[in-house]
């Protein structure tokens, strides 16, 4: 429960920041723009015509849910990668702020265990990421659903994937912060993990291109552990667009990502436990 109290405290802090206010306003404005400017004509379940800002959009006439598949897929990719980039930039400061001189001493003087502080911070950031991703996806589903009658929950589920992926990146950012209290370094760690996640996606192809040696072994070792974010993004996109997925593969990918995040959090807690303030 203490962790949740810390998480709530972080959410209050986030609400006061302009980054998140701007994100909320931008998403709302975008959804309102779609709601008011997009006209979709559905005939017997087929998307027959579309107009954006009064201009006709030329496309094939298809079953409305089929026509919306690429829309949901693209939206899922934007939420996934956009969410990762925005999250890395906007959340890099939460860890350093927690450890700032004066505040950390005050927090440690309270009846709160050290691991609860870190877990609370992580949960708070995860809740932020989840709220942003679900708000964007659910908003899109509601707007398009109201206009076409196609109601699907999968884009919202895929938004949860984006939040889980960001959780694994943020766990790394938090782990770096407990070593060096720097927002810039935290952001750099996040960016590095995103790049490593992309490299891990194409691990086999890249290993084939590399010659034998320490560099290759190091690359193989690191990318064997880092979650392949590209695969996770593809899975999220496939899910959002109702495309078939390997049975069980998705759950394993999610579980692996969660395990990676938990491992980094455990390292952060080990370091946090040993550190003097």
| Closer of 58 and 106 to other proteins (Cβ) | 58
Using CB under 8 A, count the residues that bind other proteins: 47
Q: Which stretch binds other proteins (CB under 8 A): 62-70, 81-89, 126-134, 179-187?
A: 62-70
Instruction: Please name the residues in contact with 208: beta carbons below 8 A apart, sequence gap of 6 or more.
Output: none
Run of H or E residues at 141: helix 114-148
Shortest gap between Cβ of 104 and other proteins (angstroms)? 18
Shortest gap between Cβ of 254 and other proteins (angstroms)? 9
Q: Distance of CA 203 to CAs 77, 100, 155, 206, Å? A: 21, 38, 27, 5
Q: Does 62 bind other proteins (CB under 8 A)?
A: yes
Shortest gap between Cβ of 261 and other proteins (angstroms)? 9
Q: Does 183 bind other proteins (CB under 8 A)?
A: no
Q: Does 8 bind other proteins (CB under 8 A)?
A: no
Q: Does 144 bind other proteins (CB under 8 A)?
A: no
Contact 71, 80 (CB under 8 A): no
Binding residue for other proteins, selected from 70, 215, 259, 277, defined by CB under 8 A: 259
Contact 232, 245 (CB under 8 A): no
Q: Does 200 bind other proteins (CB under 8 A)?
A: yes
Q: Does 249 bind other proteins (CB under 8 A)?
A: yes
| Closer of 18 and 44 to other proteins (Cβ) | 44
Instruction: Please name the residues in contact with 10: beta carbons below 8 A apart, sequence gap of 6 or more.
Output: 94, 120, 121, 124, 125, 128
Q: Does 266 bind other proteins (CB under 8 A)?
A: yes
Tell me the backbone φ, ψ of residue 51, rounded to 5 degrees: -135, 135
Measured CA to CA, the distance from residue 137 to residue 27 in angstroms comes to 10
With CA atoms as reference, report the closest residue to 170 among 162, 39, 138.
Answer: 162
Instruction: Please name the residues in contact with 99: beta carbons below 8 A apart, sequence gap of 6 or more.
Output: 177, 178, 181, 277
Binding residue for other proteins, selected from 66, 106, 145, 195, defined by CB under 8 A: 66
In the beta sheet, which residues pair with residue 57? 50
> Which residues between 206 and 245 bind other proteins (CB under 8 A)?
224-225, 227-228, 231, 234-235, 238, 243-245
Q: Does 264 bind other proteins (CB under 8 A)?
A: yes
Q: Does 43 bind other proteins (CB under 8 A)?
A: yes
DSSP 180: S
Measured CA to CA, the distance from residue 254 to residue 243 in angstroms comes to 17
Task: Enter the tokens of residue 18.
Answer: 């302009």
Binding residue for other proteins, selected from 11, 31, 48, 85, defined by CB under 8 A: 48
Chain residues binding other proteins by CB under 8 A are 41, 43-49, 58-64, 66, 200, 224-225, 227-228, 231, 234-235, 238, 243-246, 249-250, 252-253, 255-257, 259-260, 262-264, 266-267, 269-270, 273-274
């Amino acid at each position: 429960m203490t962790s949740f109290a810390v998480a709530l405290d972080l959410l209050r802090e986030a609400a006061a920041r302009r980054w998140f206010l701007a994100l909320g306003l931008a998403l709302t404005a975008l959804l309102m723009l779609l709601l008011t400017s997009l006209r979709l004509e559905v005939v017997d379940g087929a998307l027959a015509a579309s107009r954006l800002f009064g201009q006709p959009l030329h496309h094939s006439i298809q079953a409305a849910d089929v026509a919306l598949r690429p829309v949901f897929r693209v939206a899922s990719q934007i939420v996934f990668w956009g969410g990762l980039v925005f999250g890395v930039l906007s959340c890099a400061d939460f860890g350093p702020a927690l450890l700032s001189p004066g505040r950390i001493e005050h927090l440690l003087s309270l009846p709160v265990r050290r691991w609860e502080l870190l877990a609370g911070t992580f949960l708070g950031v995860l809740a932020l990421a989840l709220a942003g991703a679900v708000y964007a996806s659910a908003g899109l589903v509601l707007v398009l659903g109201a206009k076409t009658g196609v109601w699907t929950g999968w884009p919202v589920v895929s938004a949860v994937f984006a939040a889980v992926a960001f959780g694994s990146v943020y766990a790394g950012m938090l782990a770096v912060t407990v070593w060096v209290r720097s927002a810039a370094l935290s952001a750099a760690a996040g960016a590095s993990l995103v790049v490593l996640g992309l490299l891990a996606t194409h691990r086999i192809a890249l290993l084939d291109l590399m010659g034998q040696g320490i560099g290759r072994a190091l690359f193989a070792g690191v990318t064997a552990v880092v979650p392949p974010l590209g695969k996770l993004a593809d899975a999220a996109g496939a899910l959002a667009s109702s495309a078939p997925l390997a049975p069980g593969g998705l759950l394993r990918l999610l579980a692996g990502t969660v395990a990676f995040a938990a491992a980094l959090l455990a390292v952060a807690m080990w370091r946090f436990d040993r550190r003097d303030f």
